[in-house]
Amino acid sequence: MLPVSNGPTTMSSARIRFALLALAVGGFGIGTTEFAAMGLLPQIATDLFPALSSTDPEQANARAGLVISAYALGVVVGAPTINSMVARFRRDRVLVVLAIAFTLMNLAAALAPSFELILLFRFLAGIPHGAYFGLAALVAAKLMGPGRRAQGVALAMAGLTVANVIGVPLATVIGQAFGWRVAFVLVAVVFAVATVAIWFAVPRVDGSPEQTMRRELTVFRNGRVWFALITGCIVLGGLFAVYTYLAPITTELAGLPEGAVPWVLATVGLGMTIGNLVGGRVADWSVMKALFGFAFLMLLSLAGFALTAQWPVTLFLFTFAIGFATQGLGPTIQTRLMDVAGDSQAIAAGLIHSALNVGNALGAYFGGVAIAAGLGYSSPAVVGMGLTVAGIAVAALGYVLERRGVLGPTR
């Protein structure tokens, strides 16, 4: 394992890229397992609820959406719990353990015989998610050094965005051809590869021996942290209200064949990949301007989607725009949390993923409620607009309170 000092790293640029690539492989697996279920939602619904799917496919899809919500809730529980417990330990070793857990839980979900067990293993698979990305962000920021932290966070998240370009569409194609369970087995294989890559490529990065779980949990007394978390939760819920149901939106609303679904997902992923890199650079310039800018772009993109998703050209255009705006917010909010968390860096780095997956669960749930209520497949985008407006309002309130000194000094 490559050595690294506790101060600024003296590793060569090639070795830093090697370590970041290993972290990205794990992110690739996480992105694939999180979002592939959305692309395969009709297949999951048909497999688990065959009778309901034949009589009421909208209800079946809405019920199958619980598979997505279960994973999201696992992230919500796991990020603060694991990150606060492991702050003292070597971060490279913890990342290896988390990658092993991903491998086992995804394999278990693929092999589970009942809907209830699938929900359980999806929940357990979500638990390491936030902890992995939180620690990966801290390691990447350390490797990149001062002044390039947001870019480091973006690079650590690059695997997640690339997964939406390659991993999710490929898993969707495989799932459509051979069944969604085969796709989940392949995801477990990706995690096995990530485990080996992290073991050999990521240098030794010590934790904070003085940190205790109790000390890490003091982050919840920080008002600026709460505003950042709530903003991320609500705004990113707008993405998942739409993304969860992109497969039936593509086939039922836009009238495209099933084979077009992977291409739509890849378009979202391309937008995410570019947005992630742009967001990292913009956030290094101004975190708050980046936050409001990408949030308003998200709102406009959802509005365009709601009005025009029935036309294939605009379906692709606005799914790209939604992906771009969403992932531009990713490194922005992550960096904001690192700025305001004080000594509780480990738990704060993971909490953003709890917040985002509360948004995942909320978006998937309320989007499903709108569809099940008979409002049509464009209604999730309207739900997403409402969530985004609420998130912008929370961010604006937090900014005003901080400027007035109520929440502490402005960063």
Instruction: Residue 244: give its domain's CATH number.
Output: 1.20.1250.20
In 3-state terms, what secondary structure has residue 405? coil
Listed in sequence order, the residues at least 6 apart from 340 whose beta carbon sits closer than 8 Å to its beta carbon are 222, 224, 225, 228, 348, 408, 411
The last residue of one of the domains, among 159, 177, 210, is 210
* Domain-embedded: residue 176: yes
CB-neighbour burial class of residue 401 (10 A; exposed 0-12, middle 13-18, buried 19+): middle
CB-neighbour burial class of residue 403 (10 A; exposed 0-12, middle 13-18, buried 19+): exposed
* Domain-embedded: residue 5: no
Same domain, 191 and 281: no
* Number of residues written out for the chain: 411
Same domain, 94 and 117: yes
* Domain-embedded: residue 279: yes
Same domain, 116 and 264: no
* Other CB atoms within 10 A of residue 152 CB: 26
Same domain, 201 and 293: no
Same domain, 67 and 21: yes
* Domain-embedded: residue 2: no
Q: Which domain holds residue 111?
A: 12-210
Which pLDDT score, from 0 to 100, does residue 408 have? 54
Residues of the chain by 3-state class (helix, strand, coil), percent to 5: 85, 0, 15
Same domain, 200 and 217: no
* Domain-embedded: residue 4: no
Pairwise CA distance, residues 192 & 26, whole Å: 9
Same domain, 228 and 171: no
Within a 13 Å sphere around the CA of 101, how many CA atoms are in the beta-carbon half? 21
Same domain, 302 and 385: yes
* Domain-embedded: residue 228: yes
Same domain, 287 and 393: yes
Cα 179 to its chain centre, rounded Å, is: 24
CB 344 within 8 A of CB 218: yes
Same domain, 149 and 224: no
* Average pLDDT in the chain: 81
Pairwise CA distance, residues 91 & 313, whole Å: 45
* Domain-embedded: residue 374: yes
Give tens-digit pLDDT for 124-141: 998 888 788 778 877 877
Pairwise CA distance, residues 358 & 64, whole Å: 18
Q: Which residue, 72, 274, 247, is CA-closest to 162?
A: 274
Joined together, the tokens standing for residue 137 give 């962000």
- Domain total for the chain? 2
* Helix 223-243, helix 287-308: angle, nearest 10: 20
The last residue of one of the domains, among 159, 194, 210, is 210
Low-confidence ranges of the chain (pLDDT < 50): 1-9, 409-411
Same domain, 76 and 198: yes
* Domain-embedded: residue 7: no
Secondary structure letter of residue 254 according to DSSP = S
The last residue of one of the domains, among 168, 188, 210, is 210
Same domain, 188 and 225: no
